[in-house]
A and B are shown apart, each in its own frame.
Chain A
Amino acid sequence: MKIEMKKYIQIIPVLLFVFVVLESCSKYLDVVPDNVATLENAFSRRIEAEKYLHTCYSYLPKHSDVDDDPAMVGGDELWRFVERTGFSEMARGFQNKVSPLGDRWSKYFNGIRDCNVFLENIHKVPDLDDFERNRWVAEVKFLKAYYNFYLVRMYGPIPIMDHTLPVDVEGNDLKIFRTPVDACFDYIVQLIDESMTDLPMLIIDPTREMGRITLPIAYSFKAEVLVYAASPLFNGNTDMVSLKNPDGTALFNTTFSQEKWRVAADACQEAIDICHQAGYKLYEFPGSFQYALSDVIKTQLSIRNVVTEKWNNEVIWANTQTNSTAIQRLTTPFLDPQNLDLTVTRGELSPPLKVAEMFYTSNGVPIDEDKNWNYNARYTLKTATASDELYIRKDYTTAYLHFNREPRFYANLGFDGGVWYGQGIYDDQKPADLFYIAAKFRQRNGYGKPGFGTVTGYFVKKLIHYENVIAKTGNEYSVVYYPSTIMRLADLYLLYAEALNEAEAPLDDILEYVDKVRKRADLDPVKYSWDNFSTNPSKYETKVGRREIIRRERLIELAFEGKRFWDLRRWKEAARELNLPVKGWDLLQQDADVYYRPTTIYSQTFGLKDYFWPIKETTMNRNLNLVQNIGW
């Protein structure tokens, strides 16, 4: 009996063990501690909420980045090697709907969702004072407007997502449709208006906050949005009449509205007033401490530095999320004859011949209109003399096209024989010491080093800060940083002039701001220039003539700043301009007489469908209420 008991006792621990395991198993599997980060944590303290503010900003496109900004190499303003992919392929006509080049649909809808999350939760942060909270809310509303605008500009009408959707959504039950384009613009403008009440006039703490949204930014962006809304692509565009939602809602208005231009002009005026109030004015190079510079170079530097001198008094909005070092390296040619083995400078973004021909003559009129400039001889040769030596190297033989052009031509472009001020040599009293371009075959800037250099014969000068220095040995190039400009005063002036002209304002009002921009470029006012030099002197007297003048002024003034790509589209001019062949000089030639033969590099094509991006096929498949853009 005693032994029997022992047996039972032996079994007890076994049973007890099983029992304990069973009892504790539930806890055993509960491994997650309570304080795992969730979205609530993001809005529990000011510092975390500030991170979310940065999150909302982080979606800003990288302006001037060739891989993120379609306006750099996606159109006809800059050309590069055929091997280059990305937006270059778009420029060559290989956009597609299977995996659209530069598709930003999901990126900006993610951004919009993050903005919505921020707006819906920011009231929960306990240690955030109302003043700061209101400012943040205003900034995020602005960003939301910007991201919506970015999508509209790319895709046309888009669905408006004004609040966050729950995780358990069923796509087709949601009825997410594209919103008609006018409503899209209204929504964007409404968001900007809402943001205006709480934005600061100026940044108080520039070392920590430059790049944050201010009131002048909001006003000038609103002006730009309204100009877009009034422009031919969005205002009475009959080409898009067939673009309709599945329920039949037309997505484009087909009747032109003059009123839209008046609204746009008013917005521009308001913006200009606010900017003036905040102290913005057209930038002018203040001069050098070291050298007494000639006016020629000073004017050039006024034009170059307005882009490259960070936060100068003309820059309303610049993008601190972009590093301009990349674009400066991509555009800088092998200037220094003592160091040609560089690989950090590539000089590969090449303006085509038509961009070179776009700039005015020194008289401030188009080259085909100037009475004193021989348009038909533009491809003949001419040798530079001492009077040209700040523009073209003395005794260098180059095309007639390069002579007697406006200052912006020389400030914007590098070309065979062209003098290149700066980059380490600053004394313009000794023009022979200044760098110059030699771009014929096997010359230092010429064709021949695979993967480097120009494909048209031209280089971009404007985007390179004049104080960047190429090292004498090694592979070093010191670059002066600047944030890429999104909006500057001259841009706003020209938008205003354009809107006034379309809204049929008085002539002098229209030309006032154009002339201001011309003056900085050392050009005479429009009336004077056309009256005295043009073969078509009365051009500015008609609305159409003025339109041409204002548009050209805009293309010249804002060249290489990521505007032409979008402007040609909103004017519906792309179908004309982007169907012209892309031309350059005959780069395989070593002698000037054969080098200066215009050669077609690429036969660019642009169709109706190319005005808007295709919506990616898989995106379409996930929301059957979406309708594809015309032609895709």
Chain B
Amino acid sequence: MMNNRKLYKGMSLKLLLHFLSPFNKEIMMRLRLTVTLLTICSTQILANVFGQRITLNERNASLISVLKKIEKQSGYTFFYNKREVDVEKININVREGEIAHTLDILFKDKPYGYDIQDKIIVLNKKEQQRQGESVIPVKVIQQTAIKGKVQDEKGQPISGVSIHINEGADGGAITDKEGFFTIVASPRDRLTFRFVGKEPVTVTVGNQKEILVTMLEKADVMEDVVVVAFGNQKKSDMVGSVTSVNPSDLKVPSSNLTTALAGRAAGVIAYQRSGEPGADNAEFFIRGVTTFGYKKDPLILIDGIEFTTTDLARLQVDDIKNFSILKDATATALYGSRAANGVILVTTKNGIEGKAKLAFRLENSVSTPTQNVELADPVTYMKLSNEATLTRDPLGQILYDDRKIENTVVGGNSIFYPSNDWREILFKDYTINQRANLSVSGGGGVARYYVSGSVNKDNGLMKVDKRNNFNSNIDLKSYSLRSNVNIDLTKTTEMIVRLSGNFDDYSGPIDGGKEMYGKVMRTNPVLFPAYYTTDENNPYNTHIMFGNYDDGSYLNPYADMVKGYKEYARSVMLAQLELKQNLDFFTEGLSFSGMMSTTRNSYFDVRRAYKPFWYSMSGYDERTGAYALMNINPTTGTEYLDYNEGPTNVNSNFYLETRLNYNRTFNKHGVSALLVSMAQTQLNANAGDLQKSLPYRNFGISGRSTYDYDKRYYVEFNFGFNGSERFYKTQRFGFFPSVGLAWTVSREKFFEGIKPVISNLRVRGTYGLIGNDAIGSADDRFFYLSNVNMNDADRRAFFGNDAGNMYMLNGISTSRYSNQGITWEVSTQKNLALELGLFDRLNITAEYFSQYRDRILMTRAAIPVEAGFSAPIKANLGAASANGIDVSMDYKYNFSSDLWLSAMGNFTYSKNKYEVYEEPKYNEAYRYRVGNSINQKYGYIAERLFIDDEEALNSPRQNFGEYGGGDIKYLDVNRDGEITEADMVPIGNPTVPEIVYGFGFSAGYKGFDISAFFQGLANESFWIDAEATAPFVQHNQLLKVYADSHWSEDHRDIYALWPRLSSTVNKNNTQPSTWFMRDGAFLRLKQVEVGYTLSDELARKIYMSKLRIYVNASNLLAFSRFGLWDVEMGGEGLGYPIQKVFNIGLNININ
């Protein structure tokens, strides 16, 4: 077989050539035309005089005057360079000559040639022509100076309006402070006036010498036009389900865009589990989760290219032009196989014609944990640790004798009786972050540009030891640079070049922030101090004398934090070329476009650390206070940094797309059609095994056709025809059609009367299929092939009689058995929507959706263990469904020109369930998953704690290990006298919330604005990790709530929060059960903001067009039934806490 890489390369080159060939021809032909036809003469007028004969009799005339006479007589127009033709004295005598004949005489022996094209004659120097250089003609058309003024609808002058002659062909002017302008133009010229936020105005000059232009406010682009798959649609024409988010709503005081998603858009389920810089991506799902495969999150497309969640997180809100969420089959069909979980579609800003506009944003914020987990004090820790040992084993060896406890209470010698608040030792109370963003945009007639750059700096909460000369705190700097340039190659050809790069430079603790918080929770507070100060026995030590115990195998989180640092660098670079060709000349409404893009991702990390020297106390003399420090690891500690390479991930993506688009309205009939073909390939450099190293590919052809009648009745048909490399030949392609209907009721005649009240009423519905090839797990590629590891160290064997030199061979193992039948997962989606507008102020969109996901890949349950398969056997057997509603509403009202109010709210409810799931045959009906949520957790019903050992003995046997009085008593659901897996029932709500909602308002009075936004979720359960929080196990910390409420022999509280203490993990108590189940519902004040915008006059005085200062805060308040940690973190409460942020920002625009 042919080498694939070659095939790929050869092919892409071929594709590229094909792609470029129209472009090449276009350039050659179009460029000439454009240069030549700098001004268009009215062909109709000139046609009348076409073919007229010329009579001339001139002596010592200037060439120019001769040419003018010829123009008058013939109707031809000359193009030439004035400087080059004006000098000569001309003698000519012609009677009734043809134009060509006349010119031949005129230019005989003269260094000029001519070229007649239509009604235009271009003069050029002969030698130039020979060299093939382009001509530099000058038009010779009667021109006059025209004065004018531009004002807005209130009569206020507008300064900075750009004026273009004949759509930017050449020339131009800009209005001054008072809105006045002067421009030289000929009567046939058309002047176009453009200004940001205003509708462009075009005026034909004619005989006017003075022109007054009134520019009207532009209808809001953001709200009216929605970005949909491969194009834009007016909101009022939508058939599919698309939520458009106003980019400014996504502006949060964070360097992570994804944290803003929750509650902002109907149809999005989102939550955030961590506040760690660089690891604080929110999880989000469109209309919930409907599969149990690995790919649950939506497709993210930025300018048409697939990106990861982190890339979305790093996107600058200021650069976003449109942000859409595509939710149903009709909306996503064109993306075919990639879009079964919905699509987030983002387009970035383009330059707009006009002089350079500069926008600058600067933010500085203070962030602090919303809540810290409270720990018990060290004395309580020791007392209860002893209790934990003795209550389980009266003969047990207690760790802390009375003397140690008493001395710790007194607090005398903190070196010998350490008592550490590790969190205080490791972490600061707050940290400061900065963000800056600058963009410049503008452009002339031929090209427009948008260039932006941003720098974000996020710091962690870790303290830094001054004795180290490196920074072990989290320091995440992310930079991005973007350049979008649109070039009009011809009047009908537009080329768009987008280049962007996004770079993270991270420096932080070796184990990351979450792990540092985790380590604090796993460290004994009273065994040793973080470090000892130098004493006389160790005068020469230049290293930090970190505390430890015994053999030095105890966790000292401080040492782990400051012993070194990790640096990582992540970058994404994108180069994108898009070409749009208007094919109106072929048939009106037809256009073609092609896009080619490549992205390169890279990530690497490096760790540098020394091995801490551990010290412990020996020979403490209580009377004199003398002690000696003993170095536990003199041979393994180091004073120098060691170096360790982390993973290096590099991958490249190539994407190619062509579209043919047709869009036209015939009277009341609107018709459109779109045909797209796309091919995508991704290659990973460090894939890990051969199968993963092969390119990841996707290929598809998709199409859309729409028809509407009178903007009242709409029908839309879409299809995707997709191929995936993961499946066997016969299963490789899938066809996924969808259809939609809409009816704008409010445009019906009978509705006229109601319109003042119900300004808009529209219903729409869609039905369709979407495929998904991202099934199983990402590592499971090529289901039709077995995956055999020919070198598996887990299956190795040793032989020989020499311990140091055994004969060893690795074994062979199979991690997947081949199955040629595995194929697409198919999602059938339905959507019904109602749009309602009231009084032109309140808009409500309510949608009902349902989805049936079929042929989900799952592990066969009925394969007997005795068959001995070393890998699970899988098949497309599963099915799941989801349904729900999403509702959004917004309200806007201007009370006066100074006072306005807007409010918004949205609500998403999505409930899913298993429809088909192969399971063993159970005796108990409740064990089957079918009918339960995909995210449903199963567990035991905890009744209470056992009162005593005797009760435990006389209760149904619990099969998880040691238990007795004070341990959790589970309900014997099937009453077989034993607690086994058969007693596990669905408990609680799903682990992914079913309800996410948000609401807020903003209001403004003159320059002031204020806004507040609340967000919440409901129908979610989470579990306190009983194993991770188990006190004393591996020297785990003791949570204060456990210290306050636990079962003890003296206080047999059978409803205490924590069961009987234990110094080991008690497996009976750590079973998944209702005991540690908590309600994840919450409502939080996500953001409040107050801003002041300087009045235009004031801004202008300091040479700005806009200046806004604002203060905002996020995560200020939360309401929930859970108090141990920030409830949004769910079961990961011991990690890096979610941050509360106070932020001050400055926003400047200069036009």
Q: In the complex, which of the residues B658, B691, B862 contacts A622, with contact meaning CB atoms closer than 8 Å?
A: B862
Q: Flag if B397 contacts A622 (CB, 8 Å).
A: no
Q: Flag if A13 contacts B21 (CB, 8 Å).
A: yes
Which of A165-173, A376-384, A537-545, A562-570 forms part of the interface with chain B? Answer: A165-173
> Is the CB of A242 closer than 8 A to any CB of chain B?
no
Q: In the complex, which of the residues A52, A83, A172, A209 contacts B800, with contact meaning CB atoms closer than 8 Å?
A: A209
Give complex CA distance A39, B790 in Å: 9
Q: Flag if B725 contacts A94 (CB, 8 Å).
A: no
Q: Flag if B4 contacts A31 (CB, 8 Å).
A: yes
**Residues of chain B with a CB closer than 8 A to A57's CB:** 797
Q: In the complex, which of the residues A25, A39, A448, A621 contacts B921, with contact meaning CB atoms closer than 8 Å?
A: A621
- How many B residues touch A, CB cutoff 8 Å? 103
**Residues of chain B with a CB closer than 8 A to A109's CB:** 865-868
Give complex CA distance A241, B915 in Å: 43
Which of A2-10, A182-190, A273-281, A510-518 forms part of the interface with chain B? Answer: A2-10
Say yes or no: A617-B982 contact (C-beta < 8 A), given A36-B785, A54-B795. yes
Q: How far is the CB of A320 from chain B (nearest CB, A)?
A: 5
**Residues of chain A with a CB closer than 8 A to B1064's CB:** 82-83, 85
Say yes or no: A51-B790 contact (C-beta < 8 A), given A83-B1063, A207-B800. yes
Q: How far is the CB of B13 from chain A (nearest CB, A)?
A: 12
Q: Flag if A161 contacts B867 (CB, 8 Å).
A: yes
Q: How far is the CB of B337 from chain A (nearest CB, A)?
A: 11
Ordered by A's residue number, 21 sampled pairs between the chains whose C-beta atoms are within 8 Å are A7-B586, A10-B581, A13-B22, A21-B15, A21-B658, A29-B723, A32-B691, A54-B796, A54-B808, A54-B810, A54-B811, A94-B961, A106-B868, A110-B868, A167-B819, A169-B867, A211-B798, A587-B395, A601-B395, A622-B863, A623-B866
**Residues of chain B with a CB closer than 8 A to A11's CB:** 583, 586
> Is the CB of A97 closer than 8 A to any CB of chain B?
yes
Q: Flag if B801 contacts A311 (CB, 8 Å).
A: yes
Q: Flag if B794 contacts A58 (CB, 8 Å).
A: yes
**Residues of chain B with a CB closer than 8 A to A206's CB:** 800-801
Question: Taking each of B18, B26, B724, B812, which has the highest tally of chain A beta carbons within 10 Å of its own beta carbon?
Answer: B812
Q: Flag if B868 contacts A161 (CB, 8 Å).
A: yes
Q: How far is the CB of A465 from chain B (nearest CB, A)?
A: 11
Q: In the complex, which of the residues A105, A320, A343 contacts B798, with contact meaning CB atoms closer than 8 Å?
A: A320
Q: In the complex, which of the residues B803, B808, B812 contacts A42, with contact meaning CB atoms closer than 8 Å?
A: B812
Please, what's the 1-or-0 string for A519-530, where 1 marks a CB less than 8 Å from any CB in chain B? 000000000000
Please, what's the 1-or-0 string for B2-22, where 1 marks a CB less than 8 Å from any CB in chain A? 011001100100110011011
Q: Flag if B586 contacts A10 (CB, 8 Å).
A: yes
Q: How far is the CB of A602 from chain B (nearest CB, A)?
A: 10
Q: Flag if A98 contacts B864 (CB, 8 Å).
A: no
Give complex CA distance A48, B962 in Å: 47
Say yes or no: A29-B551 contact (C-beta < 8 A), given A55-B812, A207-B800, A623-B866. no
> Is the CB of A16 closer than 8 A to any CB of chain B?
yes
> Is the CB of A212 closer than 8 A to any CB of chain B?
yes
Say yes or no: A52-B812 contact (C-beta < 8 A), given A11-B583, A98-B960, A621-B921. yes
Q: Flag if A174 contacts B785 (CB, 8 Å).
A: no
- How many A residues touch B, CB cutoff 8 Å? 101
Q: How far is the CB of B979 from chain A (nearest CB, A)?
A: 8
Q: Flag if A171 contacts B864 (CB, 8 Å).
A: yes
Q: Flag if B395 contacts A588 (CB, 8 Å).
A: yes
Say yes or no: A58-B796 contact (C-beta < 8 A), given A29-B725, A207-B805. yes
Q: How far is the CB of A168 from chain B (nearest CB, A)?
A: 8
Which B residue's beta carbon lies closest to that of A89?
Answer: B961
**Residues of chain A with a CB closer than 8 A to B21's CB:** 13
Q: In the complex, which of the residues A6, A37, A51, A311 contacts B29, with contact meaning CB atoms closer than 8 Å?
A: A6
The residues in B between 1 and 56 inclusive whose CB is less than 8 angstroms from any CB of A are: 1, 3-4, 7-8, 11, 14-15, 18-19, 21-22, 25-26, 29
Q: Flag if B725 contacts A30 (CB, 8 Å).
A: yes
> Is the CB of B814 closer than 8 A to any CB of chain A?
yes
The residues in B between 769 and 814 inclusive whose CB is less than 8 angstroms from any CB of A are: 782, 785-786, 788-792, 794-803, 805-814
> Is the CB of A28 closer than 8 A to any CB of chain B?
yes
The residues in A between 144 and 192 inclusive whose CB is less than 8 angstroms from any CB of B are: 159, 161, 164-165, 167-172, 174, 176
> Is the CB of A506 closer than 8 A to any CB of chain B?
no
Give complex CA distance A107, B327 in Å: 46
> Is the CB of A197 closer than 8 A to any CB of chain B?
no
Say yes or no: A17-B18 contact (C-beta < 8 A), given A10-B25, A113-B868. yes
Which of B346-354, B422-430, B694-702 forms part of the interface with chain A? Answer: B694-702
Q: In the complex, which of the residues A25, A60, A450, A587 contacts B679, with contact meaning CB atoms closer than 8 Å?
A: A25
Q: How far is the CB of B289 from chain A (nearest CB, A)?
A: 25
Q: In the complex, which of the residues A7, A50, A623 contacts B864, with contact meaning CB atoms closer than 8 Å?
A: A623
> Is the CB of A34 closer than 8 A to any CB of chain B?
yes
- A16-B18, A29-B697 given; 20 more Cβ-contact pairs under 8 Å: A11-B586, A14-B660, A18-B658, A18-B675, A20-B14, A28-B699, A32-B785, A37-B789, A51-B812, A54-B795, A54-B809, A54-B810, A58-B811, A94-B961, A167-B869, A211-B800, A310-B801, A474-B634, A623-B865, A626-B864
Q: Flag if B864 contacts A55 (CB, 8 Å).
A: no
> Is the CB of B592 closer than 8 A to any CB of chain A?
yes
**Residues of chain A with a CB closer than 8 A to B705's CB:** none
Give complex CA distance A571, B299 in Å: 65
Say yes or no: A36-B920 contact (C-beta < 8 A), given A55-B795, A210-B800. no
> Is the CB of B980 closer than 8 A to any CB of chain A?
yes
Say yes or no: A169-B863 contact (C-beta < 8 A), given A14-B658, A31-B4, A57-B797. yes
Say yes or no: A619-B799 contact (C-beta < 8 A), given A7-B586, A96-B959. no
**Residues of chain A with a CB closer than 8 A to B922's CB:** 621
The residues in B between 812 and 835 inclusive whose CB is less than 8 angstroms from any CB of A are: 812-814, 817-819
- Residue numbers of B with Cβ under 8 A of A are 1, 3-4, 7-8, 11, 14-15, 18-19, 21-22, 25-26, 29, 392-393, 395-397, 399, 550-551, 553, 581, 583, 585-586, 592, 594, 634-635, 658, 660, 675, 677, 679, 690-691, 694-695, 697, 699, 701, 723-725, 729, 732, 782, 785-786, 788-792, 794-803, 805-814, 817-819, 861-870, 873, 920-922, 959-962, 980-982, 1063-1064
Q: Flag if A28 contacts B814 (CB, 8 Å).
A: no
Give complex CA distance A311, B29 in Å: 90
Which B residue's beta carbon lies closest to that of A165?
Answer: B867
Say yes or no: A96-B801 contact (C-beta < 8 A), given A31-B697, A33-B1. no
> Is the CB of A430 closer than 8 A to any CB of chain B?
no
**Residues of chain B with a CB closer than 8 A to A135's CB:** none
**Residues of chain B with a CB closer than 8 A to A42's CB:** 788, 790, 812
> Is the CB of A447 closer than 8 A to any CB of chain B?
yes
**Residues of chain A with a CB closer than 8 A to B11's CB:** 24, 28
Say yes or no: A212-B19 contact (C-beta < 8 A), given A29-B699, A474-B635. no
Give complex CA distance A341, B869 in Å: 47
Q: How far is the CB of A420 from chain B (nearest CB, A)?
A: 23
Give complex CA distance A114, B811 in Å: 11
**Residues of chain B with a CB closer than 8 A to A321's CB:** 797-798
Question: Taking each of A22, A33, A209, A626, which has the highest tally of chain B beta carbons within 10 Å of its own beta carbon?
Answer: A33
Give complex CA distance A34, B4 in Å: 10
Say yes or no: A450-B395 contact (C-beta < 8 A), given A54-B797, A109-B865, A622-B865. no
Q: Flag if B805 contacts A36 (CB, 8 Å).
A: no
Question: Taking each of B690, B695, B795, which has the highest tally of chain A beta carbons within 10 Å of its own beta carbon?
Answer: B795
Q: Flag if B397 contacts A447 (CB, 8 Å).
A: yes
Give complex CA distance A83, B1062 in Å: 10
Which A residue's beta carbon lies closest to that of B633?
Answer: A475
> Is the CB of A608 closer than 8 A to any CB of chain B?
no
Which B residue's beta carbon lies closest to that of A105?
Answer: B865
Give complex CA distance A113, B399 in Å: 49
Say yes or no: A208-B807 contact (C-beta < 8 A), given A14-B22, A55-B812, A92-B962. yes
Question: Taking each of A207, A619, A622, which has the highest tally of chain B beta carbons within 10 Å of its own beta carbon?
Answer: A622
Give complex CA distance A141, B980 in Å: 38
Q: Flag if A110 contacts B801 (CB, 8 Å).
A: no
> Is the CB of A612 closer than 8 A to any CB of chain B?
no
Which A residue's beta carbon lies closest to that of B982?
Answer: A617
Q: How far is the CB of B30 from chain A (nearest CB, A)?
A: 10
